[in-house]
Amino acid sequence: MPGGAPLNLRSFLWRGENVFPDSEIVSRTHQGIHRYTIAEYAERVRKLASALEQAGIERGDRVGTFAWNNHWHQEAYYGVACMGAQVHMINLLLPDEHIQHIVADAEDEILIVDPVMLEKLEGAYDEEAFDSVEQYIVMGDTVPETSLEPVVDYESFIADGDPDYSFPQLPEDQPAGMCYTSGTTGKPKGVEYTQKMYWTQVMSLMTSEAGIKTDDVELTYVPMFHVSGWCRPFTTIAAGAKTVLPGPNPSAEDLAKLIEEEDVTVSAAVPTVFMDLLEYARESDVDFSSVRYFTSGGSATPRSLMEDYKQEFDVDLISGYGMTETSPVTHAYEPKPGMTDLPEEELFDLRSHSAGLPIAGLEFKVVNTDGEEVPWDGESLGELWMRGPWVTQEYYNAPDATEQAVTDDGWFKTGDIVRVSPEGYVDVVDRMDDLVKSGGEWIASVEVENAVMGHDEVVEAAVVPVPHERWDERPAAFVVTRDAVSDEAALRQEIKDLVAESYPSWWVPDAIRLVDGIPKGATGKFSKQTLRDEYVDESVIETVAENAPAT
Amino acid sequence: MPGGAPLNLRSFLWRGENVFPDSEIVSRTHQGIHRYTIAEYAERVRKLASALEQAGIERGDRVGTFAWNNHWHQEAYYGVACMGAQVHMINLLLPDEHIQHIVADAEDEILIVDPVMLEKLEGAYDEEAFDSVEQYIVMGDTVPETSLEPVVDYESFIADGDPDYSFPQLPEDQPAGMCYTSGTTGKPKGVEYTQKMYWTQVMSLMTSEAGIKTDDVELTYVPMFHVSGWCRPFTTIAAGAKTVLPGPNPSAEDLAKLIEEEDVTVSAAVPTVFMDLLEYARESDVDFSSVRYFTSGGSATPRSLMEDYKQEFDVDLISGYGMTETSPVTHAYEPKPGMTDLPEEELFDLRSHSAGLPIAGLEFKVVNTDGEEVPWDGESLGELWMRGPWVTQEYYNAPDATEQAVTDDGWFKTGDIVRVSPEGYVDVVDRMDDLVKSGGEWIASVEVENAVMGHDEVVEAAVVPVPHERWDERPAAFVVTRDAVSDEAALRQEIKDLVAESYPSWWVPDAIRLVDGIPKGATGKFSKQTLRDEYVDESVIETVAENAPAT
């Protein structure tokens, strides 16, 4: 038949090993800094694959990881996936019951564990949920005292592996990886990544200016336990770039030191990481001169953060966008030709209101509640639907969720509400579930939150829908202030005025409650479900009823 | 099933149209310069697809093109491929009997013809060979006087096409394009390109520094009738770059004018084009300041040409490599990290002896006559084998050729003899068929030719094997001199001495014949087969027998 060979990760490992054998991988571990080359890496990857085969792992089996970003973890990425098994990265930050659900659902046969996370895993252990696990492998060359068994250290496990192990030619639909959504509502759902999904995502991560290039030094901050580390651990090998892995729970100081000492050029993380790093950099005068750009994703990046990095350190902080179901990256910010001449103010405006342009190779559309496409006018809101080779078309073991999320013609409904500028820049406004549906119209909770947080006294704010007889739903705001407040009524009025300055009057919250803190989920995002279930009580409903607009 | 949507060209057209609607396509036609945007382009692509459907073209049918690079041709690329049919680009430069073979073999149902090529096609017409052709479409808005029928002009043909035509979701193994090898031996062989092959090649053309980027202005010189124009007509749309199409048989002056007037940043062509352009640029002081780089491929690029461009015009001329069977690009030159510090001399050395590094996503190996891999030591010769998603695994309608060229595990044997440097740079030495096999060892005919052409008096030289009783084969050289030669014997000795300076004595040709010209094939390469069949006569064989080494 015509048509080329199946898409597979093996080709990337081949390229890294043969064309860029001397590129370095620098790994901060519990034992200190470890350095080796891609050539050494690849040999160990083959030993791991061979040892897994000897241990009985077969095509389609799952090998779980429970670890920070280190070289053992990166070895597991290629080693497990290229031998035909599936590397399942378990999110360290999940509550025990979610970990139990995930291990049981994925039926992991082996778990490869970071020694610094051993205690956490022991705590999450449940005999029934962990029934499938036949072997625990602890990264490093010693086995700490542990209740988990049977257990072996990683170095002993791969010692007899074959350094000349030959990877099979796999079909491109072979599942190669797996992650679970950190769903703020309900149990995490599994997403499988095939060889093709990884291959196409990795190629796409090399296409744009904001990609990873051969002469880059990538600080892989994005946790490898979080959506395949945004596929950057696969991409650095394919590109032959130098990789820096920051290890267990890195602090801003750890990151700054690695950036300075290893001449880091690119990195990606969630906005809070860059906030902490900025604060540290200001105190300690960090040298960012090697940096080409930082990508901020996972949630909206404040404009002020982008401006501060640029003005104080001449570092470009740009947005990326994606989700567990999309492998994950689908959009990245870059200015279009001609735009580079725009005034800096306008560019920051665009940057901060943009998840970016769609990466080549996929399609999207924005759909309203009637199922119709809305125009790219910078105003019309709708749900983002995506389709492409690295966008999933199925949740694992969850046919109902799949049916809800995937259309017959292969569109994945992201559940994100967006508007698109005439130039094609996507602005993520809210989660569909978090929108306040007031009188048939949508109020974007995230935008109201940002307006509320514009008040000097407010450090955190979350807006959720409250049931209302006439309007169906109305917004209520939960607010954390910097200091104790003497005149609550005055503060409420100031907040309402602030929202009314930027948005229609019917977007103004009808109830504002001061709280000590906003409940958060495993990835640090607000848990709106907890707020709706536990914070929206009779008294909030009454306040809303009193203050809601009459017409 | 898990796994994303099928790979298809539609996603690239979608991106170009929606994200970069205003990017320009500038087309030099028989009627003068034509300009429009990608938005207008995409609408006409849909009208063409719809009109083809109305004309009875179905999934899997073939639509041939016989044209230079213009906007109609580029519309046919996406229009035919995205509707599920196959665009078959016919090489204008082939002899009539090859064109007949190709049209008959591909069973083209429609031929879309450049009006300036109408006469050539009429000349090639053969009732039996062209039996499958049901419609001729002539680019432009008028039908010239022609013997071909039924015939319609392109603009009338698409006039009733639906501008809102919706492209189907095609399987990724759907053949989307087709080209024939311009085989210097035997009849051209067909290679089909699937949606997947095109998708992966286009993505790969956007990954490297030497790719096409959004802010590039691409002068698509590579003929669209030659291996899908190296897939650049697909890539510019995906990247949203500005495209410049140079139209019928462009001269060096035409190219220079387009480069200056349209601010061209990148282009690709065969070395002879860049030689002509250089000569013109010297006379006319062409302004190359907009140029980022030129890619030279198709045959080896002389070092002097690279140096001259750099020194005289500050233009980087770099190598690319590929072939009809590989969609075509598999290698591209770029310096590895750290190499940019090397002295210019060394870099030119590397550049001129290198087809480049393998592009991410495929694998290659170099195999000797025993089927064993040879080391990457910059010396060992072997045949280049490739495997990857945009490397074919089948010739069309030619099971014997397929069996010869494709291994059971999917490696395509290129027939090119190469050596690979320890850094992974591939140096193409010769065609397997053109090697001189002397006493069980290989003599690279191309290298000997280059040495011979180093003689001041020599303008062209071709080296071919001559049968020999003891050594099996020995080299003979056919040489074209600048001026009439007074002392042939002296010239022969000077040439032999020159070869012996750089190569072992047994590489020195045993016969050197002066000729008026070297026979060439359709793409301007030496036709070694004609030389062997017609020029190697009894007298040459005798001379070789006299002069061959004794031991």
**DSSP of B12-71, one letter per residue?**
HHHHHHHHSTT-EEEEEETTEEEEEEHHHHHHHHHHHHHHHHHTT--TT-EEEEE--BSH
Residue A5 makes CB contacts below 8 A (sequence gap 6+) with A169, B362, B387, B388, B389, B391, B393, B410
DSSP class per residue in A154-222: HHHHHHTS-TT-------TTSEEEEEE---SSSS--EEEEEHHHHHHHHHHHTTSTTS--TT-EEE--S
Encoded tokens for B28: 């030099």
User: How many domains is chain A partitioned into structurally?
Assistant: 1
**Residue A109 in domain:** no
pLDDT single digits (tens) A87-144: 999 999 888 999 999 999 999 999 999 999 999 999 999 999 999 999 999 999 999 9
Say whether B204 and A200 touch across the interface (CB within 8 A): no
- Residue A459 falls inside a structural domain: yes
Contact A169 B376 (CB under 8 A): no
Answer yes or no: is B374 within a domain: no
* pLDDT tens by residue, B476-534: 999 999 899 999 999 999 999 999 998 999 999 999 999 999 988 766 678 888 999 99
What is the separation, in whole angstroms, between the first and last Cα of chain A?
A: 67
Q: Are A66 and A112 in contact (CB under 8 A)?
A: yes
pLDDT band at B183 (very low <50, low <70, confident <90, very high): low
Q: How many residues does chain A have?
A: 551
Q: Return the percentage of chain A with pLDDT > 90, whole number.
A: 81
Cβ separation B4–A390 shorter than 8 A: yes
Give the H or E element holding residue A15: helix A10-19
Residue A472 lies inside a defined structural domain of this protein: yes
Burial of A547 per CB tally in 10 Å (0-12, 13-18, 19+): middle
Residue A185 confidence (pLDDT)? 59
How far, in Å, CA of A239 to CA of B208, rounded? 9
- Ramachandran assignment for A167, one of left (phi > 0), alpha (psi -120 to 50 degrees), beta (any other): beta
- Say what the pLDDT of residue B353 is: 79
pLDDT, residue B3, reads: 76
Of B250, B268, B303, which one is at a domain's C-terminal end? B250
Of A18, A357, A394, the CB nearest to B1: A394
Whether A523 is a known active-site residue: answer no
Span B450-472, pLDDT tens digits: 889 889 899 889 999 999 999 99
- CA distance, residue B139 to nearest chain A CA (Å): 30
**Residue B373 belongs to a domain:** no
Q: What is the pLDDT of residue B303?
A: 86
Q: Name chain A contacts of B239, Cβ cutoff 8 Å.
A: 360
Q: Look at residue B522 in the predicted model and tell me its pLDDT.
A: 65
pLDDT in tens, B473-487: 999 999 999 899 999
Cα B100 from Cα B83, distance rounded (Å): 26
Where do the H-state alpha helices sit in B421-505? 445-453, 488-502
Per-position DSSP letters for A401-429, written without gaps between them? HHHHHB-TTS-EEEEEEEEE-TT--EEEE
Q: Model confidence at A14, in pLDDT bands (50, 70, 90)? A: very high
Of B138, B130, B122, nearest to B67 (Cα)? B138
Averaged pLDDT score across all residues of chain A: 94
The pLDDT of B263-287, averaged and rounded, is: 94
Q: How many CB pairs under 8 A join A and B?
A: 180
State pTM to two decimals: 0.93
Q: Find which of A206, A242, A426 to mutate to test the B interface (most B CBs within 10 Å of its CB).
A: A206
Report yes or no: B186 and B200 within 8 Å, Cβ to Cβ.
no
CA distance A335 to chain B (A): 10
CATH for A514: 3.30.300.30
User: Could you give the CA distance from residue B228 to residue B328 in angstroms, rounded to a whole number?
Assistant: 8
Residue B49: name the closest of B134, B135, B133, B161 by CA: B161
Interface residue of B203, B340, B395, B402 to substitute, partner A, most A CBs within 10 Å: B203
Residue B306 lies in a domain: no
Interchain proximity A194–B19, CB inside 8 Å:
no
**Residue B209: count of CB within 10 angstroms of its CB:** 14
CB A52 within 8 A of CB A85: yes
Q: Show residues of chain A in contact with B389, CB under 8 Å.
A: 4-7, 199
The domain containing residue B501 runs over which residues? 435-547
Tokens of A238: 């394919």
Among residues A17, A325, A447, A473, the one annotated as catalytic is: A325
Residue among A112, A60, A70 nearest A89 (CA): A112
Are the beta carbons of A336 and B214 separated by less than 8 Å?
A: yes
Residue A359, pLDDT score: 94
With CB atoms and an 8 Å threshold, state whether A3 touches B197: yes
CB atoms within 10 A of CB B151: 16
Q: In angstroms, how far is CA B503 from the centroid of its own chain?
A: 30
Q: Which residue has the higher pLDDT, A304 or A53?
A: A53
Among residues B194, B226, B250, the one where a domain terminates is: B250
Hey, what are B165's tokens?
Answer: 């035509």
Give the H or E element holding residue B103: helix B96-106
Pick from B1, B2, B391: CB nearest A5: B391
Q: Which residues of A touch B5 (CB under 8 A)?
A: 362, 387-389, 391, 393, 410
- For residues A511 and A523, the model is more confident at A511
Q: Nearest Cβ partner of B14 from A18, A202, A363?
A: A363
In a domain, B315, yes or no: no
Residue B424 lies in a domain: no
Identify the closest residue of chain B to A191 by CA–CA distance. Answer: B2
Question: Is the confidence at residue A246, as pLDDT, over 90?
Answer: yes
**Mean pLDDT score across all residues of chain B:** 94
Nearest alpha carbon to residue B513 among B494, B533, B539, B474: B539
Compute the distance between CA of residue A63 and CA of residue A86 in angstroms, rounded to an integer: 6
A198 CA to chain B: closest CA distance, Å?
10
